[in-house]
Structure formats: structure tokens, C-alpha cells
Structure 1
Amino acid sequence: MCRFTLKWLIISIAFALVTAPLGALGQEILPSWNDGATKASIVAFVKNVTTEGSSAFVPAEDRIAVFDNDGTLWTEHPIYFQLAFALDRVKAMAPQHPEWKENEPFKSILAGDIEGLAATGEKGVVEVIMETHAGMTTEEFNSITRDWFASAEHPRFKRHYNELTYLPMRELLDYLRANGFKTYIVSGGGVEFMRPMTESMYGIPPEQVIGSRIVTKYMLKDDKPVLMREPKVDFIDDKTGKPVAINSIIGRRPIFVAGNSDGDYEMLRWSTAGDGLRLGVIVHHTDAVREYAYDRDTHFGKLDKAMTEAPERGWVLIDMKTDWKAIYPPAK
């Protein structure tokens, strides 16, 4: 064999090893998933859309995968992480707002009365979000968010909130990316609340995070240009808003979609209604011991319509209790 041929043979082998899909080199695919129909359906889908010559082959540029966040990538009980953040912000800001001791919904929050907060309804929650998330620059809000994730603890698990991501779903994100997918978060949560954390948590950069947002305006502060967050809702990225945001920001219809609640129903329907092979998966919270068990009757992450229609629409229900070997990464 001539030197030139040997050189290119070595290069070809090295390239094949580097670019081989996850699992092709003897690594276990989705190691935190139990073997069964759910794991098999995901692996089969990825194989079909990434195998050249397959009738279901999808070019890499069209391999778009979108994931809800609350209840799909991280825990959402007993309350959404962002609501927990807002409640902590109310307590931290209370000394500058003595009137809150007498005014709802802040009165209930300061008294630790979550039922009292719930009684104020959506209006009360929105008021809390506006008071605690606005009136500052985007940089200031990012800093506050990072500090909270680094210090606040979940009331049940006694771990920082950024540790309560689902290990099997993180493996799924890695597996998809190893096979040429581009992964996005499409969540009803605040986009500026998620962006400071998603790259370290999931390997998803800020520009691939879509979420709800409040009005942000350019202004000069001490002659320095800043973006100021105002107490006005700009866009709610939930339910019918999700397909609209995907189309507006990504510009391609996803071929893989993951959610966990009826807030993801329209995203699931629109994504899986496109041409070619597509897959929708729903995280079903069935493990009260290792996490929480809930679906139709809950204030956070209600799963009713999407679960009922899943069989007829070909959506895969991920049974957290039986499909996952582990819920969270090992404690640090």
C-alpha cells in the first residue's frame, strides 16, 4: 500500500470514529432509560431519519427538535421554578415596600399563605411577576437569576434548582445532537429567566431558547445604552403561542417535539402534522416516590387532552416510573 493511500485510509478511519453517532462505538444509548417500547420507539425514529437511503431520511438542516421546559426538562412541582423565584424576590424586596404587608397578593406571600396567593388568581400571579421581574436592565436580571439558582433550594429535595433536571431527558438531548439534530427549548416560562442557565444545564445556548417575555426597551442609563425590562407582558409562549413562536423564530417545523402538559398540545399537533416521519413524546409524571405523580388534576402541568389523544395521534407517553432508571443526576 502506498504512503498516500495509507495516509488517507488513516484519516478516513479517524473521521468515521469522530463523527459516528452515539451508540455506534459501543456506548450505551440513553443509559438512564429502561429497555422497552418507549426507548425503542425513540431510537428507531432517530435511526430512520438519519440513515441515508431510508425512505424517512431527513437532511441535517431539517432535524429540528423542540422541548418544553417545566415538567419536561426540569421539575415543576410543588410550584413552577419561576414562581418560586418570584416569591423569594418578594421576600427580598419587602423592606423597600412596607405597603405589601397590607396589600394582596403580597400580603399572602409574606405570610407564607400560598392558598391566599392562589385565591388572587392569574391577576395576582401576573402582578407578582411584573413587580419582581421588571424595573431593571437585562444584565441585572440575569445576575439576579444566576444568584438565585446558585443558592435557592427546592423545599422537598433540598438541592439547588439547577440540579433538578431530568437525567434521561438530558441524555436524549445529547443523543439527538450527536445525530445531527438542533435542539431548542420552547417554554411558557420567561425567556430571560431560562437563558442564563440552559447552556450549563442542557447544552442549549441562549439563542435557541424561546419563551414568554415582557416588554424590553432600549434606553440610556448614565449615558450607557441598556435594555430595560418594563412591567408589561409582550408575548405568552404557551398553548397556541408555541407554534407561532417556533415559526417566527426558528422558521422550520420541528420533526421531534417533547412536552408534558396540555400547554404543549398545540405544539405537539402542529409539529407532528408535517410531512414525513415525525415523533411527539410526552413526559407523564407517574413516580410519586422519586419525583411527583400527577396529570389531569393539578394546577401545575395539567395533562388531560394531550394524554387522551396521544394514542390516536401516535404520541409516545413516557412513563417516568417505568421508563426511567433515574430521575436526577447524582447529587454533587
Structure 2
Amino acid sequence: MITTMRQITRRAMLTGLLRAVLCVLASHSAFAQADPLPSWQEGATKKSIIEFVTRVATPGGPQFVAPVQRIAVFDNDGTLWSEQPVYFQVMFAFDRIKALAPRHPEWKDAQPFKAAIESDSGALAASGEKGLLEIVTASHAGMTTDAFSQTVADWLASARHPRFNQPYDKLVYQPQLELLAYLRQNGFKTFIVSGGGVEFMRVFAERTYGIPPEQVVGSSGVVKFQLGPDGTPELIKEPKIEFIDDGPGKPVGINRFIGRRPILAFGNSDGDLQMLQWTAAGGGARFIGIVHHTDGEREWAYDRTSPVGKLDKALEEGLAKGWTIVDMKRDWKVIYPFQNL
């Protein structure tokens, strides 16, 4: 009888111990899974993001926002992927100009095409925004939209970034990928609102960011419908600019293509300032984020004087109004997915 009681007691103790161990393991597992932003350093920046999402996504809370109104907009260049030493779409345009040059002997002595063909960065810089627009327009036009998409996809598969020797679409920011996923898990609809070409970004946005093409807002050229030689309907890209989705164009693009004022906006440059201001001006809970490039070792360090991604007025306003300034060096454990935590 005594032996039986001891066996029962021992079995109960072992069962209780096993349950306790399982509870501890489960709690540790839950804790590990509970961190939605593992590539973000613990601190005020990460805390502000999680607290905002919690507030607007908690039913019955004082700042609850209905899912249909949880709109988040992100700039692309410098906010979701790198933009140095020059915007990646410009790199694509340069490569297209070189590929098309044999068909255009007049480009050999005409700027800015001569500079693009010869990879003369100084002459390209001297051509300014007008010169870049000429190059982008000439390199993107004269083909169907389907052919253009395939050309972009082929370029992304073969081209490599000059510093990292990685495909350009691998230079996306791991912390931002986590943030996009976290927002969608909490009922947000995520959009790209960028100065980049809308048809260029749509080639990779869904595969890279999980953002479908209909949620990409960008600059666009004129497109014309016509019947091809075999009678098949097609859309042809023409050498004319239709809409520039940059600076004051961003809130216009949001109004035109999204139709709702966002409650969260992320940018990294003065070209994003009006989008950030437009988002902040709405009622209720708002989150305004700026990616500040401060890591010259893992990425680049630049802001007020950079010809690419200049961050001056937006930084001043962000500091004055208490917007969340993401210090890349301090706040991100890793920059790119191919780096290890």
C-alpha cells in the first residue's frame, strides 16, 4: 500500500513537472513568436510602432480604427530598398540606353545620351533632372507594356549592384519587410507611393514586398491602346510623361488612386514631405516615419546635401513635430535579408 502511494505520488510529481516544463517551453515559444519586428533593435522607435499598431487595431479601444481605414503608404527608393549611388530605375534606364544605342547613332554625340553610353557620371549629373527624364523617357518608350515588364524582369534577373554584387531587388530592407507583414497581419492595407515608375515597380512589388500591382502608385508615362499587326489589342508606351508622383504629386496620387487618407506613412527624403504632411493632417491616430540613412558601413550615410534622397526640410519638420525618425545604424540589427542577425 505504501509502495503504491509512493508510486502515485511520484507519478503525480513527474506529471506536474512535465506540465511545468511544457508551459515554460510554450511561453518561451510564444515570446519568440510574439516579436513581430525581430530585425529592429529594442528601443523607442520599435516601441512606438508596436504601440501605434496595438492602439488602432484593438477593438473597443479609444483610438481603434476600422480595418477599411487602416491605410499605410510607403515610399520605395530609400524607404523600402536602397537608392545609392543612383536610383535603381535610373540604372535600368542607363543599361537600356546602352542596349538601344546601336539603333540610335545620333546619341553618340548628344547629351545626356552620350554620358549614359560612356557611363560619365559627371556629365549625367550636369544634365540635371531634365536630362534624367530624357533618358528614362527614351529608354522606356516604343514598346508594349507587356514587353516592358519582361524587359524589367530580365534586367532584375541579370543586373548586379556595383557595391554589393547582388541583384537590385535583393537590396530591400529586412526591417521594412517585417513591418509590412506586421501591418497586414493587423488589418492594414499597404501601398507603395513613390516617384519611381509605376510599371517598373509593379514588376517586382508583389514578389518582393507582398504588395499587389493595384496597390502601387507611381510616376507614369502616356500609354496608348492600339491593335497590333495581328489584330491583338496592346498598350504602347509613348515618350511622354503623364504624371510625376513626387513631392506635392504624392498626396495628389494618393487621392486619385487610393481615395483614402492614410493613417501611416513612411518616407526618407524631402520628396516625401508632402505625403507625410498630408497623412499627419488627418484626425485620430497617426504614425509618420522617416528612414534616416546613418549607416555608412552597412549601407550609406547621407541626408541634407545628398543629390540622391536629400533629407533636409522633412528632417527638420519631423524633429519639430515629433515624428518617428528611424536611425538606420541604431535601430536596425540588419539592413538586407542576405545579412545575418
TM-score when normalising by structure 2: 0.89
How far is the alpha carbon of 1:312 from its aligned partner? 2.7
Aligned to 1:54: 61
Structure 2 residue 194 is matched with structure 1 residue 195: no
Structure 2 residue 146 is matched with structure 1 residue 139: yes
Q: CA RMSD in A?
A: 1.3
Task: Name the larger-Rg structure.
Answer: 2
Where does 1:158-237 land on structure 2 (aligned, <5 Å)?
A: 158-222=165-229, 223-237=231-245
Q: Letter of the aligned partner of 1:61 in structure 2?
A: V
How far is the alpha carbon of 1:127 from its aligned partner? 1.0
Structure 2 residue 272 is matched with structure 1 residue 272: no
Structure 2: distance between partners of 1:194 and 1:24: 36
Unaligned ranges ≥5, structure 2 = 1-29
Structure 2: distance between partners of 1:117 and 1:311: 34
How far is the alpha carbon of 1:26 from its aligned partner? 3.5
| Cα 1:169–1:266 shift into 2, 3 Å | same
- Identify the match of residue 261 of structure 2 among 253, 263, 267: 253
Q: Which moved more, 1:220-229 or 1:138-147?
A: 220-229
Q: Deviations over 1:175-233 (max 9, x none)?
A: 00000000000000000000010011000000000000000111111111101100000
Structure 1: distance between partners of 2:67 and 2:119: 50
- The total of aligned residue pairs comes to 310
SS in 2 for 1:274: coil
Where does 1:1-332 land on structure 2 (aligned, <5 Å)?
A: 26-222=33-229, 223-330=231-338
Structure 1: distance between partners of 2:167 and 2:222: 29
SS in 1 for 2:202: helix
Structure 1: distance between partners of 2:40 and 2:48: 12
Q: Deviations over 1:9-67 (max 9, x none)?
A: xxxxxxxxxxxxxx888332200000000000000000000111211100111000000
How far is the alpha carbon of 1:82 from its aligned partner? 0.4
Identity %: 58
Q: Letter of the aligned partner of 1:153 in structure 2?
A: R
Q: Letter of the aligned partner of 2:333 in structure 1?
A: K
Structure 2: distance between partners of 1:235 and 1:187: 12
Asked if the contact 1:184/1:210 (under 8 Å) is kept, the reply is yes
Structure 1: distance between partners of 2:174 and 2:194: 19
Asked if the contact 1:239/1:265 (under 8 Å) is kept, the reply is yes
| Cα 1:230–1:152 shift into 2, 3 Å | same
| Cα 1:33–1:331 shift into 2, 3 Å | closer
Q: Which moved more, 1:240-249 or 1:66-75?
A: 240-249
Structure 2: distance between partners of 1:24 and 1:218: 54
Q: Letter of the aligned partner of 1:289 in structure 2?
A: E
Asked if the contact 1:163/1:331 (under 8 Å) is kept, the reply is no
How far is the alpha carbon of 1:77 from its aligned partner? 0.3
SS in 2 for 1:183: strand
Structure 2: distance between partners of 1:235 and 1:302: 21
SS in 1 for 2:199: helix
